[in-house]
Structure formats: C-alpha cells, structure tokens
Amino acid sequence: MNIISASRRTDIPAFHSDWLINRLRQGVAHVGSPFNSTLRPVSLVPENVIAIIFWTKNAQPLTRYLDEISDRGYDFTFLHTVNNYPKLVEPNVPEIGLTMRTVEHLFDHYGSSALRWRYDTIILTETLNRSWHINNFRKLCGIMGPLVEECIFSFCDYYKKTRAKMRFHLPDHHEPTREEALELALELADIASEHGIRMSSCAHDFLHQGAIGPATCIDAQFLNRVVTGSNKLERLVNVKNQPTRKGCRCAYSIDIGEYNTCNHNCVYCYATNEPKINNNSRA
C-alpha cells in the first residue's frame, strides 16, 4: 500500500487527466524509469493506494473526474501552485481568474484538506524583483487566505538545464545570494502571517528562520486529515521518509508521472526539455 505522487515530473491534472482516470479504472499504471526506458507496473487498486497527491498548476481538467475518483475509494489532496507570473515565465498556465475559480471549487467541494498552496518557484529578474514579489504575494495571500493554512515556497534551483533555459528566455534574471533570498522570504512570511498563512520552505534549510518552517510536501501527518479507512490510516503511520534531494522531508511515495510531458513550458522547469504531450497515453 503506497502514497501515489501525481506528479513531480509532470502536471497530470492539467494534461493527462484522461490517462489517469483510465489507469484508475484499470487499477494499474506502467511507469517509466527516469534513467532508462524500462516500464514497471504500479498497482492503483484502491486497496493498495493510501492517497493520491496531485501536483498541479491547473486542476480544472481533472475536476470532472474527482467525484468518480472519490467514489472508487481513493483519497486525494492537491499541491496547487499559484504564482501569478506573466506569460513570459509561465506561458500556458491559466490566468489567475480561472485558476482561482478552480481552487475555490476544490475547497468548496472537498474542504480544506483537499488543498495546499505552493508559491514555487521564486525567480528574480529586473522586472520580477523584490518589490514585484512582495506586491504579487500580498495580492495572492488576500485571495488564498480563506482557503489554505500553509504556503510552501522555494527559490529556483539552478541546475545546468535550468540555467540554459533561463539564459535563453530571461537573460536579465539573477541568482539571489542566500542573504537576498532570506530577506525576501522573511518579508513574504510576514505578509503570509497577516493572512493567517504559515510559510514553509521546500528543501532550503537556510531559510528556516523566524516564521518560516520546513516544508514536507508529501506529508504523512497532513494525510491523516485526508485518508479514510482504518487499514490505510494504520499503514500511513508506518510510512518512512524518503528524501528526493538534499533538504527534502517527504514521505515515501511512488511517482506515476513522466518527464518531458508537461506543456506549461515554464522557463524555470527542471522536468521538461521539449514537451511530448501524448507520451502519457501509454497503457
């Protein structure tokens, strides 16, 4: 019995919701290794799934299936990113009005346990500077405050691939020093606190100061609020942590996504080279 991550590697709710519901109906997904072409079966039979964690910037395409997913016996929650970046940065992410209608739908129909907010990834340019983020984040906190208890955030991790994409799309970007990042993060945390939102830093331990705590994106403790059924709750207690990178505090999960299958085309994304939108249609 496992927690299913759907997905760090791609936006399944936005682009692969039909694939997902077909896999849930069949009770199995064949998931590729990120290192080679090997496929392995992952059981998605409800009795083998503790909960599904949906990572997304656009849950709207999946909403038509959520009642069926629940009726089939799956418990789920969303890690929903809401950044409100301009199209230059997130070309295919819906505008903020549509995003918020979807987020409010999740809250209204499935409650506060169905939703956690990510302000991720923070990038800095001449235009998207400290002042822009403070004003943008204050606006978003005013909207998200009644819906969420926590905001998980992170600054861009400049992998080799990420640097190349950023140089091409945002040549005026700059990588903040730790001091710059901490100063901005503490200001954002003050704004979040004014709206009753707790700030949690994902995988950046140097930011755990003041009102900023460590984030656990796949959080067994939080899932106690989500999971139903005594067998699943008993199994949840025994789930061990399995970090995916330095500073990660996530519980063990199985990710059913595939790299290079997201069409948001975010310039900071580490998971996409060129999108292969139909790739997740495999059985």
Give pTM, 2 decimals.
Answer: 0.94
Q: Enumerate helices (H) and strands (E) in the chain, giving the number of each.
A: 9, 10
- Per-residue pLDDT for 115 more than 70? yes
Q: Are 123 and 96 in contact (CB under 8 A)?
A: no
Q: What is the mean pLDDT of residues 25-37?
A: 88
- Per-residue pLDDT for 208 more than 50? yes
With cut-offs at 50, 70 and 90, classify the pLDDT of residue 36: confident
Terminal C-alpha separation, the chain: 21
**According to the model, what pLDDT value does residue 35 have?**
74
With cut-offs at 50, 70 and 90, classify the pLDDT of residue 278: very low
- Per-residue pLDDT for 76 more than 50? yes
With cut-offs at 50, 70 and 90, classify the pLDDT of residue 277: very low
CB 264: neighbour CB atoms within 10 A? Answer: 22
CA 277 to chain centre: 19
118-165 confidence digits (pLDDT tens): 999 999 999 999 999 999 999 999 999 999 999 999 999 888 888 889
Candidates 64, 86, 90, 154; CA nearest to 117 is 154
Distance between CA 257 and CA 259 in Å, rounded?
Answer: 7
Q: What is the 3-state secondary structure (H, E, C) of 190-250?
A: HHHHHCCCEEEECCCHHHCCCCEEECCCCCHHHHCCCCCCHHHHHHHHCCCECCCCCCCCC
**Residue-range domains of the chain with CATH:** 2-281 (3.80.30)
- Per-residue pLDDT for 248 more than 70? yes
Q: Kindly state the percentage of the chain with pLDDT values over 90.
A: 88
**According to the model, what pLDDT value does residue 275 have?**
40
Distance between CA 4 and CA 84 in Å, rounded?
Answer: 27
Candidates 21, 30, 7; CA nearest to 283 is 30
**According to the model, what pLDDT value does residue 203 have?**
92
- Per-residue pLDDT for 55 more than 80? yes
**According to the model, what pLDDT value does residue 283 have?**
41
Residue type, 234: E
**According to the model, what pLDDT value does residue 259 have?**
92
186-205 confidence digits (pLDDT tens): 999 999 999 999 999 999 99
- Per-residue pLDDT for 74 more than 80? yes
